[in-house]
Structure 1
Amino acid sequence: MARWRTTVSIDAKAARGIAAHVATLQTDRGPAGAHAACALVKLAYASPHHRSKIIQAGALKPLVEVLRDGAESGGGPGFSAVGAACQVVGVLAHDPGMAEIIVAAGASEPLVALLSTEAAAAAATAIQTLVTNGADAFAPARAPLQLLLADGDDRARCAAGSALTALGASKVRLESLEDVESRFFRIVTPS
């Protein structure tokens, strides 16, 4: 019985933390907002229960606002906040039916715009996850993703290739992805 109480109290504490992080994200676009977005990423990855609590706490609206602010300012109001918002949106999209809800909340347009900023890799990864899980509002992302595949850093190229694959891009355009992946894995895994 004591063990059950411990689990419940941990879940209650995490739920209170989620609400506090969402409240911070709604009011602060500076370092505190970036910290809140990063905390939401960790909680979203932790469990489906936490993802549900994040949605119930009303996180979608401030997350989309962070994405919009980031798109309008070319990657700001701080890369960590924008990148974290992309990650949270991507993780939330894994749950059934959430991809459509996220798109309905207005995330698609700023995510596409973020493909030409420092947050490009995070945005491409979020787009790939959303498309894989049923969102179909990303046809405008093809051209920026193809540019990213050609001109981005290795991390952004890999994310762009995955997003283009999810969008059903032709094999001809993705042949260069094999070269990018081989370079990326050479960088990541020392010989």
Structure 2
Amino acid sequence: MTSVRTAARSARPARPSLYISVDIEADGPIPGPYSMISFGAAVAGRQVGASYTAADPEQDTFYRELRPISEAYVPEALAVSELDRDRLVREGAEPAVAMAEFRAWVREVSVGAQPVMCAYPASFDWTFLYWYLMSFGGDSPFGHSGCLDMKTLYAAKAGVPLRAAVKGRMPRELLSRRPHTHHALDDAIEQAELMSNLMAWVPPGQADRPG
């Protein structure tokens, strides 16, 4: 009986994946002691089986600037985004409200698919995003591991060590022509284009290999 159930589960087609590029700006290295001060998201594309369809990354987007959750910050980290921390203390969105709005947005754009957060690299952005989702509402639309690291994706496709998977060594056709501004929404849109380019990319020499 167990083998029949296992076979039935394996025969079911996997749900489509909807890849959502996310970029966060923070005022320190880790969430909790420090704050996520802004984040942006853009739908990159949808994967059904082996088929990936790129989206217009400017069509479905989300952006919020957040009130800091502590008084601690690292000036060098804060300077990256050029956001005014005093203004955010006064005017930034309450994290619980922003995360509730973000959950609703993710579920709206991913109807019929499993949402997957993607970033380059994902480790920093996912750490803050997941911590905020769980700390302010206790629920993540991506589950506990629904993220894809574009750095790892490139390293695996290109057959290079992870430390060599840097944008400066990537083929230029993979990179977005948009500038990297350190505005969270701008950078999420830029990353969405990189994601779609990576998903469509066949490294030189692999196209002619026997299947």
Structure having the higher helix fraction is: 1
Higher relative contact order (CA 8 A, sep 6+): 2
Structure having the higher strand fraction is: 2
Please tell me whether Structure 1 or Structure 2 has the larger radius of gyration of its CA atoms: 2
Specify the TM-score bucket, using the shorter chain as the normaliser.
Answer: under 0.3
